[in-house]
Structure 1
Amino acid sequence: MAISELQLALIGVGAAAVAGVWGYNKWQERKHRQLAERILRGGGQTDVLLDATAAPKGVGATGDDAVIDSTQRVEPVFPPETEVEPLAADASDSPWADPLADGVGRLEFVEAVAAPALWAAQAEWAGHLAKPLNWVAQVGGEWRRLTAHDAGRYTVFLAAQQLADRRGAVSETELTVFAEGVRHLAAQLGGVATVPEVGTMLEQARALDEFCAGVDVQLSINIADPGGTAFAGTKLRGLAEAAGMKLDDDGRYHACDEQGETLYTLGNLGVELFEADSLGSLATHGVTLTLDVPNVGQGARVFDRMVVTARQFAQGLGGVLVDAQRAPLTDAMIAGIRAKIEEIQVRMEARQIVAGSARAHRLFS
């Protein structure tokens, strides 16, 4: 049967369409291959968060002359406490994508991606994560933490899944959701993602949580009347205000530093919280001053200040310093508490978690 001119035209159009699709796919393949090769070669701007050559001396090294292979990712190491070499407290310039506290995935794109598009894409799976997830974007030589309201466009992002906090270590399920979500997001927006193995992140999270649990201590000094007489709320308020403490929404008075960070707190030993409206009628048989050791820098000095405040309260209220069993607190016992604070904070610093630092605040929250 003879082929009509119309059939010949349709065949020609079909062949052209097939060739066009084939050409477009080859172009996309070449673009992504070039991007992947550039990332694997370590080309472009140095990533101070993930670049192995930027790791502090001692991380992954076996001696003074150890050489770090710059083509390999170096994960944080948790050696036995007796073998830890003190390292710099902050290995990165962004506390929101911290290789010690977070599992960090890197996403890179040829063309800049709008932050709202990334934010919408990650919302599909980020809601399944119980631990905090932070996003930062590279702007020149710095990293900017992203929020839902960021309208910028960026080519390099870091996704940081927090590995531990006071609730414990991140779960394997969460890490799987995080790793698969980051890879899917990169593919969805036309980029390439590099994410640590789930097993590696899980091992790091559990080691980190185990260490943090061992130093997560809150030390208190209690004040009570030896005869069992109650303290009046109005008297407590006057003493707290005279000491420069402020009543917070958590029902405790806070002593703060110049930046507004809490140094120690004053709370009720009874069940009632301190509230401005009810302090006038409050009567309590004891109060407690508490120092959150991992979250306060220079803990021994702050403890000394807290002891001075406790003695001022005891004198003003007619009470005495007592321990948790309401036994009198001696000078030797106070010295022992101070030594314990110093010991804990030295151990923390050896693990690159300086008490009172941004890293410590995240892990002990």
Structure 2
Amino acid sequence: MSSLQIGLLAAGAVTLLAVVAYNYWVSRKSAPRQPDALPPLDNPLAPGLDDAGAIEPVLTDDFDKLPQPERKPVLDALIDVIATMEVEQPVSGDAALAALPATRRVGTKAFNVEGCSELTGEWEPIVPGRRYSAFQAGVQLANRVGPLNEIEFSEFVVKTQAFADAVGGSPVFSDMLEEVARARELDQFASEHDAQLSFAITALSAAWSPGYVHQHAARLGFVAGVIPGRMVLPAEVQGLPPVLSLTFDTQAAMAEDPDRSAIREFTLSLDVPQVARTDQPFVRLRQAADWLAQQMDGAVTDGGGQRLGQDVLDQIALDLEQLYDALDARELSAGSPQARRLFS
């Protein structure tokens, strides 16, 4: 073999190695980022929010120590049509529960029955072992599906009358046309004061694996939700809606090999009427979006690819304060039981 041939072979080998190395580098560069060992975070959200930070649920047998929502009557004349029922003699909670209809819905609206406790004289959800001197049934005037209509009101009357007959009660109903008109007015207000905010975090260079997204979100207190590709920042009180939610491609989360799934965008969301104003949810949304974008080499966008500047976010914050004021004035403060039911 001549020196020329040897030289050509050597040059070819070098070229081949260079091609292989380049392809490996491109493959590594374009591969989704994987979770890595990261130091723990102190105060992941802004100072001043430490006491309002999310608490990851912990399974325990000592349920009495977990914060629970205060047990209060559900029905409220502000957002419900209410029919009262007098009874000839006190009725046991067990008998009342047995008389309830199979479904607690009237069309697309919630249907509830409460009893007046013989012991305390206060309205409460019916529980076994108690006795009740009167009852009231209610159907929600409106929700995000729309206002109560005439057909739903008629179904409410039928269900309430059947319950009243079973417990020996005499119901008193309000005027259908007046209640339907009230439902439309409440639905109009709700439509004008509903807000569900979403920011997208978009990758600027390499994509992310589901594990990489989970790892960074978990550092801010997010925990896995029931649906694949969804994480939530839970409220401090068990049973209340999450403060924020994070979602990404469900198919990527359910892939046989999630590490090879490439995610280039995920969404941070806030359902404004569901979370109390005092929890500063929008402040937390901004901080979470900014921190995740910085740590993951991403950008905060509107979902259409347009970056959201601080001036835009400041304007949204001002608009939200006006929205909160309007809800407060209507006695439907964000995060209240009434607001959570109306905006659902």
TM-score under structure 1 length normalisation: 0.67
Deviation at residue 224 of structure 1 after TM alignment: 0.8
Structure with the bigger RCO (C-alpha within 8 Å, sep 6+) is: 2
**Structure 2 partner of 1:114:** 92
Summarize the Cα distance change of 1:276–1:152 in structure 2 as closer, same or farther, 3 Å threshold.
farther
**Structure 2 partner of 1:146:** 126
CA RMSD, aligned part only? 2.6
Tell me the amino acid that sits aligned with residue 246 of structure 1: V
**Structure 1 partner of 2:30:** none
SS across alignment from 2:306: coil
Deviation at residue 172 of structure 1 after TM alignment: 0.9
Deviation at residue 165 of structure 1 after TM alignment: 1.3
**Structure 2 partner of 1:236:** 213
Superposition misfits of 4+ residues, deviation over 6 angstroms:
124-127
Deviation at residue 153 of structure 1 after TM alignment: 3.1
Deviation at residue 110 of structure 1 after TM alignment: 2.4
Give per-residue Cα distances to partners, 1:79-108, cap 9 Å, x unaligned.
xxxxxxxxxxxxxx9441110111111101
Give per-residue Cα distances to partners, 1:346-365, cap 9 Å, x unaligned.
11111110101111111122
CA contact under 8 A between 1:95 and 1:359: conserved in structure 2?
no
Tell me the amino acid that sits aligned with residue 267 of structure 1: T
CA contact under 8 A between 2:84 and 2:171: conserved in structure 1?
yes
CA contact under 8 A between 1:300 and 1:338: conserved in structure 2?
no
**Which of 233, 237, 240 is equivalent to 1:259?**
237
Deviation at residue 249 of structure 1 after TM alignment: 0.5
Deviation at residue 156 of structure 1 after TM alignment: 0.5
Bigger mean CA offset, 181-190 vs 161-170: 181-190
Tell me the amino acid that sits aligned with residue 214 of structure 1: E
Q: Distance in 2 between matches of 1:113 and 1:151?
A: 10
**Structure 2 partner of 1:167:** 145
Establish whether residue 335 from structure 1 lines up as the match of residue 314 from structure 2: yes
Q: Distance in 1 between matches of 2:291 and 2:320?
A: 22
CA contact under 8 A between 1:266 and 1:289: conserved in structure 2?
yes
SS across alignment from 1:272: helix
SS across alignment from 2:88: strand
Tell me the amino acid that sits aligned with residue 299 of structure 2: V
Q: Distance in 1 between matches of 2:103 and 2:300?
A: 51
Identity across aligned pairs (percent)?
28
Question: Please, which runs of 5 or more residues in structure 1 have no aligned partner?
Answer: 1-92
CA contact under 8 A between 1:217 and 1:294: conserved in structure 2?
yes
Q: Distance in 2 between matches of 1:132 and 1:186?
A: 18
Establish whether residue 212 from structure 1 lines up as the match of residue 190 from structure 2: yes
Q: Distance in 1 between matches of 2:72 and 2:324?
A: 22
**Structure 1 partner of 2:59:** none
Summarize the Cα distance change of 1:166–1:336 in structure 2 as closer, same or farther, 3 Å threshold.
same
**Structure 2 partner of 1:155:** 133
Deviation at residue 248 of structure 1 after TM alignment: 0.6
**Structure 2 partner of 1:359:** 338
CA contact under 8 A between 1:231 and 1:285: conserved in structure 2?
yes
Deviation at residue 314 of structure 1 after TM alignment: 0.9
SS across alignment from 1:230: coil
Q: Distance in 1 between matches of 2:93 and 2:255?
A: 43
Q: Distance in 2 between matches of 1:277 and 1:336?
A: 43
Give per-residue Cα distances to partners, 1:108-156, cap 9 Å, x unaligned.
1121123444444442896764421111111123222026xx3533220
Deviation at residue 184 of structure 1 after TM alignment: 5.3
CA contact under 8 A between 1:267 and 1:274: conserved in structure 2?
no
CA contact under 8 A between 2:101 and 2:163: conserved in structure 1?
no
CA contact under 8 A between 1:299 and 1:342: conserved in structure 2?
no
Q: Distance in 1 between matches of 2:312 and 2:271?
A: 18
CA contact under 8 A between 1:166 and 1:363: conserved in structure 2?
yes
**Structure 2 partner of 1:248:** 225
Q: Distance in 2 between matches of 1:99 and 1:278?
A: 52
Question: Please, which runs of 5 or more residues in structure 2 have no aligned partner?
Answer: 1-70
**Structure 2 partner of 1:133:** 111
Deviation at residue 185 of structure 1 after TM alignment: 4.3
